[in-house]
Amino acid sequence: MATTIEQTIDFSGVSPSRLFDLYMDPKEHAAATGGPVEIEPTVGGRFAALGGLRGRYLAIEPSHLIVQTWRAKVWRDDDPDSVLVLMFTGTETGARVHLVQANVPKGVHQTIDDGWRQHYWAKWETYLASS
């Protein structure tokens, strides 16, 4: 059975385009997360991150929206890819990322949910504060 992860994270003092670029720029993505990344930033392009995540870009709306197929190498071969949607919007004090990740295998739901918080949002806060 598959599940859905939904998270909303606010970042102070940055724009939606800054967060979008942080995710899409391979050098910044790697610097912010501390892990290897490969990004082909076009619809149909591939990505790989943190030594075990991979997928393809389904839609890109610069500064606003990223849609990807997404899977972790620890998933079973018969687990379908999940679909990741990242939406970037402005707030009064900065920007917000709204994440929806559908079709996450139930057995890894908590690991993936925690992974976003640990490997992305917490590290982005630190990276953005230092840059």
The SS3 call for residue 104 is strand
Query: Domain with 24 in it: what CATH number?
Result: 3.30.530.20
pLDDT reported for residue 64: 98
Residue 20's domain spans which residues?
A: 2-130
Q: Number of folded domains in the chain?
A: 1
pLDDT reported for residue 45: 98
Is the separation of the CB atoms in 62 and 42 below 8 Å?
no
Question: Which amino acid would we find at residue 98?
Answer: H
pLDDT tens for each residue of 40-73:
999 999 999 998 999 999 999 999 999 999 999 8
DSSP 78: T
pLDDT reported for residue 60: 98
Q: Report the predicted TM-score, pTM, of the whole model to 2 decimal places.
A: 0.95
Question: Which amino acid would we find at residue 51?
Answer: G
Q: Give the sheet arrangement for strand 53-61, strand by strand.
A: 2-12, 94-105, 82-90, 65-72, 53-61, 46-49, 37-39
SS3 content of the chain, % helix, strand, coil (to 5): 30, 45, 25
Whether 74 has a pLDDT exceeding 90, the answer reads no
- φ/ψ of residue 8, rounded to 5: -130, 125
